[in-house]
Amino acid sequence: MRIGHGYDVHRYKNGRKCVICGVEIPSEFGPDGHSDADVATHALMDALLGAAAMGDIGKLFPDTDMKYKDISSMYLLEKTVEAIGDKGYVLSNADITIVAQRPKFSPYIDKMRQSIADVIGVDIDRISVKATTEEGLGFTGDMSGIAAHAVVLIEERD
């Protein structure tokens, strides 16, 4: 068994779609970035790659490469799972924490869990998604951005 941690931050921009864990959340602003800027999925991919000691998403999917412009992070997650699979690893479980003042994520938690589970090809009970605020403090508190952490356990396939 191997453990991995991932962390990501994106700046909010007015008028951008807010797609987190592959689910579009109603919001007047969303994370800005080269891809769809799905901050939680990016943290999850970095955790998977970290667990396998395979670098990070910047190495696998360079943001200088135009083919990744506005790409769905769920597609990148699928590719990441394939990459660790090629090394003989499968996901045991993942725990994702979204840190944001707004929008409100609680009504979408199970939808986000299912969306991640479907792409990875595991049961929903292996995927945890949580959301918290930072009580109005810092860059998430003043809504200039959104952060996400992910911790995963991967296992060698037998």
Residue numbers of the site for Mg ion (CB under 5 A)?
Answer: 8, 42
- By C-beta, is 65 or 110 nearer to Mg ion? 65
State the Cα–Cα distance between residues 27 and 18, nearest whole angstrom.
6
> Closest approach of Cβ 25 to Mg ion, in Å?
17
DSSP string, 86-116: HTTEEEEEEEEEEE-SSS--GGGHHHHHHHH
> Closest approach of Cβ 60 to Mg ion, in Å?
12
> Closest approach of Cβ 74 to Mg ion, in Å?
14
- By C-beta, is 58 or 107 nearer to Mg ion? 58
Calculate the alpha carbon distances from 13 to 24, 37, 89, 123, 157 in Å. 15, 11, 36, 34, 41
- By C-beta, is 51 or 147 nearer to Mg ion? 147
> Closest approach of Cβ 143 to Mg ion, in Å?
18
State the Cα–Cα distance between residues 7 and 99, nearest whole angstrom.
11
Count of residues in the chain: 158
- By C-beta, is 63 or 156 nearer to Mg ion? 63
CA atoms within 13 A on the CB side of 70: 2
